[in-house]
Structure 1
């Protein structure tokens, strides 16, 4: 036995195999290794620098056979936990990785629970210096929680982990505020570099950051979709570290954050590493194909990024949103000098989204945003979109009047570019769409006069404002500007504080009834509703915020005149604007007569059948189809406008909380259609503004005509005809051109001419075929 034990002690893999086959027969050999581990562990506790080479092999052996001797190895997991948590800094990188792998192995063998594993791994996330080790720990945590909630929700585990994450964020709330602007950033970097406070600053920021990242990943994978997860991230919005604030705010806005770790399915492609690997590896055709495939994938991923969608379910889960908004505004104003412009805009966007989603009122916000309203301000499109987003029907009109006057005076005047005027008019239109009483009658009359401008963008924006007040409150317009419908029908706008009465019917329900009757579907029996119609339809689910319904898939956003000018509606340019308005009034009267003739009959479908979400999706598609047929058959501007409004409302239906005024606004809604667009961005970002002379390029504004001229001079043909394309004006001719124009007597003695004279018939044939040494020289 003694000789066998000595031989097996030197070969732990063999002993491991034998123990798994017959644990009782080799218990003595196991106890020898177990006692050896305890002695090495005690030595390590007294002198952490002593780390034998076989220590990792011994730990791996005990982890593999721990299930065979559960009583003897009861304290083994606690020993590994103490080694990682108490002596992490003194361990070598190889030992750290081996300990983490063996702890995970114990969890896979059910030696320890998920809570025990996560209590070990969570504190290691901010302490891990290696990015690969951080990625391994993060993937392990997410995989373990996802596996535990695979078939049913593991509420016990979720509550324990959420409490752990909440404490990680809450511990650093009393730390000093860390800004990201100028001297504040440099000062914080000095504090972080000092030996006394470096550990505190790093621990405060990193622990909270990892807690927010884990919660965001679990929400994105639809593992945690409850209010507790939102509360953890909402607490991160008030963390003193700016990086944590940014990550938390991006979660509610539905946008991407540069500080987030990429998920398993979204690993970033390192283009420079691909080129470097291609240079040092052996040159193969298959390697070139793989490189080109990876580059194409990276390019497609760069230019085809999904549009950010607001996370409305998370906004709805926020506890006491009014207090949350007030605290967020207090944070923004108190530390205004410590935050950069990009971070302040991020907080402004989150605050405006909260005000719109919950119909809240933080009145000092509109006074705070007034100094930002300048066309010379950087990122002004985002600021204007956030301003319009924050307005709703409960916002006091007297608070918005100074904002609209500032927009009109700063953006809508003859001294600025047409793109600036268009953005100002679109911003005012979006604000007045949500609160029509914020507009003054005299100012409205001045703004709608811009519909007589010579610029198409300004005309579209001004007509959008005019059409809005024709529909909601034509009494504020002059009599000749109201149109036929505005002159005959009462205004739709309600007094401030009043809400419309409850709906009495479903629009377009007769279309659904006719469709079901045509398909021989029983519409009168409520018991005929099948459970299949309710499958995959969860009312108010989290997926509604990120995925549109079947009826809205594949639709294209077409703006209308009432929305500030759209690309899908033709603008008729005429010397007499009154003639165009009279024509529209005539068409509108014909449409009203046709609508009165085809008014829906009383439907019994709503009283005899319970409509499923699939029925409502079918109803939306039928309404869209009927609007398209009407627009094609009649062809009036009113029919086209109705179709555009219906398409736009259905496209943004999944981005709204009530299907109306809280729709997600982007920079494109403020800027409108841009001419001479070079950027592939779908929102009209700063690149579009700079290229078209709009409002984010600073004090110098280039109009569209100047931009096209500059483009022609840069990329068009230059002097010299065909041989001088893309050459600078002051450059000389090339050597090839000089040789072609050289006098004949100067080249007769050259070697090239003599070699041609002395060439054999075979060499002449090769030269003519493009082969041999004289390849291409004999061709003319």
Structure 2
């Protein structure tokens, strides 16, 4: 008998080897495959009589037939249905290992497109009822991966509709584990942007009212889950003015005493605008896809009032309600009296409750409803019987509330809170000043005269909105920058600020015109300076020289009202470019600095005067904005030792921090003296010997004699 014949006789007992040979040459091993298939049929019938007993040989055959199913598709045409029927009938009582092998075999055939997802996935969803955590986790991973592969090239709406309808029924299933697993699958598919439609979101919203706590918490967490921030650079910042442009413009500006100060102010403004332009790190798309947010939030609040769950679950529900109110600007007047009950300094997680109170405030809420919350915070937190940290947290919370609903603050209470700007504790002082800075921007008329900042051109354009008033803009802010000065050439572009009462500052200088066109001829001095500083000869250097500081503002003969009408006609008939928007934004930033009249208020630092920029209110309230407390540095022993150890980092032991500039340089005389023999330095050492009592007495007597003789000579 040949070696090959002996090998073929051993194949039925060596399934992995047979599987490998069949994949290489299916036609040559049909007999061996038929023998294994017949053996499987007999063993499978016996297995179904006692499905709870483990069968190792049958376990191997499940995987073997799944691997070679593509090679013998006709012979194994009924094999997938045979396994699916067994799992459907005996799924809950099958042996765990054999059941897992049967599922793996079906997945192998599904990956080879021998099964349709609409036939297999409903079975897997029903198998989630099994009390087998390993199986449920395995099926969850496959379901997500399979649906993702089905929608990889394009959305397969036919398959998605069938699977979604089946899964929506699974969520209403009485089995808690199957319901929660189905919910997790839907959430994961939503986050992978596969099932991110409104139907999925609203089904998840209905799960928030489940009687099962785990299901309800999972659904609520879905709407509260934060996304990772996008690390990629945003293209929106490229159109905004940068510090380089400001510095370049400041270099060519007319030299005055205020030039450097205005440059610092502009840097602060641009930094705040960059921070304002960053997108929040939270996912609001799910909240925006709700069909009936008003009805949803009312049902959710009704459930909260009768809820007997843990306090953490109530906090999550409060958070979701506040986000819905703030995002959709809903009206839920019962929410604010409910929150007032928890606004006590000793309340657990009171900073989060303060955050939820601020998130639920917006312009459309009647001020009377939120005014009670503001007064409660002021009475319970901002009082001297509390610690400084509690007072600072209360002031920060009031600031966030008033930033979203300014009309909730009455003038008497604001004047009382503003007095804490000179409080002995720094945390309270800084919190009170931040509240003052907010009202300097949104409603300076409510402040005392000494607390108002120097009026600017931007302040002159702002109006205090009344309740229900819509602030409709007839003109894009800063569009006046696109109107050319009539005294300039046709091809010259000028950034302008005009006001009849404008003044250049304390030095009494007049406004000057600054040209920015590359075709416009420069003055001799500016041309020489430009030629010296830029040897590359770039013709577009002057395009960066913009009118930024106060001294660059242009006084024009055109009346401001006429300029606005001209700007309206221009933007309605012209397609604006990125450069145009950049100029308009620069003009608006310039208006934040330029005062409307001389000596209107006392001078302040840029960090104080520009602390709050209009429009910097986001949908969400950052918890750190309420918990931001300016505290004194610790001066105990641990803090001092920590400071000492920090200063010793990166320093050689018992050595200088600097060391030599050049390690190969010659040593100094002092260093050479350290290496010399003592006998060579003996004669240079002056030994200071302590005087004895007799020697000291003699020296003192001699000093007295000299003093007496000096006094006699003077007489």
> Which residue pairs with 1:207 in the alignment?
178
Q: 1:249–1:591: structure 2 CA closer, same or farther, 3 Å change rule? A: farther
Matches of 1:627 and 1:640 in 2, distance apart? 15
Identify if the C-alpha distance between structure 1 residues 346 and 511 changes in structure 2 by more than 3 Å, giving closer, same or farther. farther
* Correspondence 1:671 to 2:627: yes
Query: Which residue among 439, 453, 477 is the counterpart of 1:507?
Result: 477
Mapping 1:61-76, distance limit 5 Å: 61-76=64-79
Contact 1:385/1:666, CA 8 A, preserved across alignment: yes
- 1:327 aligned partner: 299
Deviations 1:104-162 (A, max 9, x none): 1101111111223322333444646445x554433322222222222211112222222
1:449: how far off? Answer: 1.6
Q: Which deviates further from its counterpart, 239-248 or 464-473? A: 464-473
Map 1:273-312 → 2, pairs under 5 A? 309-312=281-284
Match of 2:223 in 1: 252
- The whole-number CA distance in structure 1 between the counterparts of 2:186 and 2:155 is 16
- Cα pair distance change 1:489/1:506, threshold 3 Å: closer
Deviation at 1:356, TM superposition (A): 0.5
1:766 match: none
Q: What is aligned with 2:190?
A: 219
Establish whether residue 440 from structure 1 lines up as the match of residue 410 from structure 2: yes
Q: Which residue does the alignment assign to 1:399?
A: 369
| 2:427–2:629 Cα contact (<8 Å) kept | yes
- Please name the residue that 2:433 is paired with: 463
- Matching residue within 343, 355, 359 for 1:385: 355
Deviation for aligned residue 1:469: 3.3
**Do 2:190 and 2:196's aligned partners in 1 also have CA atoms closer than 8 Å?**
yes
Which structure's CA Rg is the greater one? Answer: 2
- Residues 1:39 and 2:42 aligned together: yes
Encode CA deviations 1:302-332: one digit per residue, 9 max, x unaligned: xxxx998221111110110001101111111
C-alpha spacing 1:357/1:372, structure 2 compared with 1 (3 Å): same
Q: Cα 1:605–1:96, aligned 2, differ >3 Å: closer, same or farther?
A: farther
- Whether contact under 8 Å (2:223, 2:287) holds in the other structure is yes
Give the gaps of 5 or more residues in structure 2. Answer: 229-277, 485-490, 494-548, 645-715
- Once the 2 structures are TM-superposed, how far is the Cα of residue 418 of structure 1 from its aligned partner? 1.7
CA distance in 1, matches of 2:461, 2:59: 84
2:147 pairs with 1:145: yes
1:376 aligned residue (327, 346, 356): 346
Contact 1:471 1:486 in 2 (8 A): no
Cα shift at 1:439: 2.0
**Per-residue Cα deviation, 1:381-404 (whole angstroms, up to 9, x for no partner):** 111111101111111112122211
For structure 1, which segment, 18-27 or 388-397, has the greater mean C-alpha deviation from structure 2 after superposition?
18-27
Q: How does 1:159-238 map to 2 (within 5 A)?
A: 159-172=161-174, 203-204=175-176, 206-238=177-209
Determine the C-alpha separation between the residues in 1 that align with 2:68 and 2:358.
65
SS, match of residue 505 in structure 1 = coil
Counterparts in 2 of 1:83 and 1:307: CA distance versus 1, 3 Å: farther
Seen in structure 2, the aligned counterparts of structure 1 residues 153 and 341 have a Cα distance that, compared at 3 Å, is: same
- The 2-side partners of 1:312 and 1:167 are apart by 26
Structure 1 window deviating more from structure 2 (21-30 vs 429-438): it is 21-30
Q: Secondary structure at the match of 2:386?
A: coil
The answer to whether the 8 A contact 2:55-2:98 is kept is no
Structure 1 gap ranges (5+): 173-202, 258-305, 515-520, 524-589, 650-658, 676-703, 718-780
Q: Could you say if the C-alpha distance between residues 466 and 334 of structure 1 is closer, same or farther in structure 2, counting changes exceeding 3 Å?
A: same
Output the CA distance in 1 between the equivalents of 2:181 and 2:625: 35
- Is the contact between residue 385 and residue 670 of structure 1 (CA under 8 Å) also seen in structure 2? yes
Is 1:106 the counterpart of 2:106? The answer is: no
**For 1:115, what is the secondary structure of its paired residue?**
helix
The answer on whether the counterparts of 1:254 and 1:308 sit within 8 Å (CA) in structure 2 is: no
Match of 1:239 in 2: 210
1:318 aligns with 290
> Could you tell me how far apart the structure 2 residues matched to 1:121 and 1:595 are?
73
Conserved? CA contact 1:425–1:461, under 8 Å: yes
1:12 is the counterpart of 2:19:
no
Task: Give the 3 Å change call, closer, same or farther, for CA 417–710 of structure 1 in structure 2.
Answer: farther
What secondary structure sits across from 2:56 in the alignment? coil
CA distance in 2, matches of 1:216, 1:78: 30
State which of 59, 62, 82 in structure 2 corresponds to 1:59: 62
Q: Equivalent residues in 2 for 1:723-762 (5 A)?
A: none
User: 1:349·1:386 contact (CA, 8 Å) conserved in 2?
Assistant: yes
In the alignment, the residues of structure 2 paired with residue 715 and residue 645 of structure 1 have an alpha-carbon distance, to the nearest angstrom, of 35
- Cα deviation 1:547-570 (Å, max 9, x = unaligned): xxxxxxxxxxxxxxxxxxxxxxxx
Higher deviation after alignment, 325-334 or 206-215:
206-215
**SS of residue matched to 1:495:** coil
Root mean square deviation, CA, Å:
4.3
Distance 1:400 1:629, change over 3 A: closer
The separation in 2 between residues aligned to 1:419 and 1:433, in whole angstroms, is 21
Counterpart of 1:157 in structure 2 is 159
CA distance in 2, matches of 1:9, 1:401: 84
C-alpha separation in 1, matches of 2:188 and 2:439: 45
Q: 1:28 to 1:315 in 2, by over 3 A?
A: same
Q: Return closer, same or farther for 1:391/1:107 CA change in 2, 3 Å cut-off.
A: same
CA separation of 1:104 and 1:632: change in aligned 2, threshold 3 A: farther
Question: Structure 1 212/413 Cα, relative in aligned 2: closer, same or farther at 3 Å?
Answer: same
For 2:109 and 2:64, the matched residues in 1 are separated by 12
Secondary structure of the 2:471 match is coil
In 2 relative to 1, CA 147–238 (structure 1 residues): closer, same or farther, beyond 3 Å?
same
In structure 2, relative to structure 1, the CA distance for the partners of 1:39 and 1:308 (3 Å cut) is: farther
Contact 2:456/2:593 (8 A) holds in 1 = no
**1:123–1:638 CA distance, 2 compared to 1 (3 A):** farther
Check the 8 A contact 1:393/1:435 in 2, yes or no. Answer: yes
- Distance change (3 Å), C-alpha of 1:620 and 1:117: farther
Q: Is the 8 A contact 2:454 2:603 kept in 1?
A: no
Superposed, which structure 2 residues align to 1:654-733 within 5 Å? 661-675=617-631, 708-709=635-636, 711-712=638-639
1:708 CA drift (Å) = 4.4
Question: 2:481–2:583: 8 Å Cα contact kept in structure 1?
Answer: no
Q: Distance in 2 between matches of 1:625 and 1:102?
A: 69
Q: 1:256 to 1:339 in 2, by over 3 A?
A: farther
- Cα distance change of structure 1 residues 256 and 317 upon mapping to structure 2, 3 Å threshold: closer
Higher relative contact order (CA 8 A, sep 6+): 2
Q: For residue 309 of structure 2, what is the aligned residue in structure 1?
A: 339
CA contact (8 A) 1:475 1:491 kept: no
* Residues 136 and 423 of structure 1, relative CA distance in 2, 3 Å threshold: same
**What's the offset of the Cα at 1:605?**
7.2
Instruction: Write the distance in 1 (CA, Å) between the matches of 2:462 and 2:571.
Output: 30
Deviations 1:142-187 (A, max 9, x none): 2222222222111122222222332222224xxxxxxxxxxxxxxx
Asked if the contact 1:382–1:666 (Cα under 8 Å) also holds between the matched residues in 2, the reply is no
Distance 2:581 2:148 in 1: 38
Looking at structure 2, the residues matched to 424 and 591 of structure 1 have their Cα atoms a distance apart, in angstroms, of 38
